[in-house]
Amino acid sequence: MTKKQEPPVTIFEVAERAGVSIGTVSRVINNRNRVSPKTRQRVLEAMRALNYQPNGLAQRLASQQTKMIGLVLTQVNDPFYYPIVRGVEDTVSAAGYTLLIMSHPPQRNEHSLKRPLWQNMVDGLIWVAVSVDVKEMLSIIKSGVLVSLVQQELSGSASSVLTDNYNGMVALVRHLVETHGYQRFAYITGTNYTADSSERLRALRDVLSQHALSLPAENIVTGDYLHGSGASAMHKLLALPERPQVVVAANDQMAADAILAAREHGLRVPEDIAVTGFDDVLLAQYTSPALTTVHQPIYEMGAQAARLVLDGLRARQEGREWLPLKVVLPTTLVIRQSCGCRLEEVQPAKGGDV
């Protein structure tokens, strides 16, 4: 049966039992102004006796501070992002905030009745790797919500956390060219919602041209970062008149699928064709051969994004000046076997973020 609900105990009942006013109860709850030790004691006892829990909604409404931060995860269907959620959650809750998850993006313009119900309830917003409608975003920011973007920029208006995609890819491609001497490259792209796939491609091109190598247009095939697209991309590449020596994938998932696809074609990786990834997720350690890839500090991306909005909130509260920041986190090359390096030379396994 549905339990009959005893009406929740309010601050009035606590006040009554303690023989004080509700203002005083509020003061001991918030530990703000001074309250005499005896009174405080009485109030605490009353709270305990009644098993009182303050109503968070009322607290927030009265204090005009929501103490909530939203995390927008639309279009993100990639396990890659899970550590970001944890990074955000840990940071935000350590600061006494509560995290709202929203898979549907805010819609500020529409006045339909089915608008998301979390509107006007967050002090800050963290927006991950999705194509942002700039107008909409600016309108949200104007309404006073502090915004951090992950893997995206909105210069001047919102903080953003990026990773050094360019230099990570540069290090990887240098290794492929200088250590292995590969000349015929191919690239499997990610989606173009964010700039990272194209930045990685730009780095690839730059290093190649520094070595007087080129990347023909037909050697670039489109993927979507997700399970499956790496295989079809690989099939296309293997139908090319001249087989590439190395396939650079925009992320680990597609690289893993590319390896499987190459094997279906009877090719050995890396002997017949090398494959590399990007991200260094856990999966990269289990493919066969294990993936040479670029490590991204995923958890830290979330933690940083959260820190940026918390800093801004604090500054605003203290009336300090504050500017949206752009933080670029470092990436590092992780050499395993899929590039053609021999097992013996392998560096110790490095854990992906979990």
Partner DNA sequence: CTGAAAGCGCTTACAG
Residues 38-67 that bind DNA (CB under 7 A): 38-40, 52-55, 58-59, 61-65
Q: Which two tokens stand for residue 139?
A: 């309108």
- Residue number with CB closer to DNA (52 or 278): 52
Q: Where are the beta strands (DSSP E) in 207-286?
A: 220-221, 246-249, 274-276
Is residue 10 at the binding interface for DNA, with CB under 7 A as the rule? yes
Q: Distance between CA atoms of 159 and 285, rounded to whole angstroms?
A: 33
Q: Judge contact between 41 and 12, C-beta under 8 A.
A: no
Q: Judge contact between 304 and 138, C-beta under 8 A.
A: no
Distance of CA 120 to the CA centre of its chain: 23
User: What residue 118 binds from DNA, its own copies, none (CB within 5 to 8 A, per partner kind)?
Assistant: its own copies
- Of 100-108, 177-185, 194-202, 334-342: span binding its own copies (CB under 8 A): 100-108
Q: Which two tokens stand for residue 242?
A: 């001249």
Is residue 309 at the binding interface for its own copies, with CB under 8 A as the rule? no
Whether omega for the bond prior to residue 241 falls within 30 degrees of 0, making it cis, is no
Is residue 321 at the binding interface for its own copies, with CB under 8 A as the rule? yes
User: What residue 34 binds from DNA, its own copies, none (CB within 5 to 8 A, per partner kind)?
Assistant: DNA
Q: Distance between CA atoms of 246 and 292, rounded to whole angstroms?
A: 12
Backbone phi and psi for residue 72, each to the nearest 5 degrees, phi listed first: -95, 120
Is residue 44 at the binding interface for its own copies, with CB under 8 A as the rule? yes
Is residue 287 at the binding interface for DNA, with CB under 7 A as the rule? no
Number of Cβ within 10 Å of residue 132's Cβ equals 22
Residue span 128-167 as binding mask against its own copies, x where in contact by CB under 8 A, dash where not: -----------x-xxxx-----------------------
Cβ of residue 238: shortest distance to DNA, in angstroms?
59
- Residue number with CB closer to DNA (26 or 197): 26
User: Site residues (CB under 7 A) for DNA?
Assistant: 7-8, 10-12, 19-27, 29-30, 32-36, 38-40, 52-55, 58-59, 61-65
